[in-house]
Amino acid sequence: MADTQNQNAAKVTFAPAFTRTTADTAALHIQTHNGTFVIDQRLRVVVVCTVYPKPGYLQGGSCWARVDNLRAPQGRLDALDARGGWQQSANAKDNPQWNQAVLTRAQQQGQQAIATMNRNAAAGGGDVPGDA
């Protein structure tokens, strides 16, 4: 996933000039005991970050992460994974409260950027703070 994300970012025409996207993945195998038998678990995390390094109202960036947890009784995890257990993560449901919080934050940041551009334009400056 990380390699695909990095390759896609490099192909976008404007990406090298305006953004830098990086991604990475990690996985962890753990065993837990539920009282009667041992459970094998594989946790996988994908983190993708996009940075806008150009000074101005867009400077900053954003990151997102997704965590998958695949579980099976001890000794059956590999068979589940081989049958496409990780593909089930495509059907994972997002947390609506989290999505709303992210959307609200993005809207606030957009409104702040527009207000900054309007202030700069009214003051006779450029549209983008920091541009010379």
- pLDDT tens-digit profile of 62-73? 888 888 888 888
Average pLDDT score over the chain: 76
Q: Are strands 20-33 and 38-52 parallel, antiparallel or unpaired?
A: antiparallel
Closest CA to 41 of 73, 67, 65: 73
Q: Tell me the pLDDT band of 129, cut-offs 50, 70 and 90.
A: very low
Which pLDDT value is given to residue 123? 86
pLDDT exceeds 60 at position 127: no
Helix and strand totals (H; E) in the chain: 4, 3
Spell out the residues 6+ positions from residue 2 whose beta carbon is closer than 8 angstroms to its own: 23, 24, 25, 46, 48
- Residue, of 96 and 132, whose pLDDT is higher: 96
Whole-angstrom distance, CA of residue 87 vs CA of residue 109: 34
pTM: 0.51
Provide the residue ranges of all domains of the chain, joining segments of one domain with +. Answer: 2-92, 93-127
Indicate the residue type of 127: D
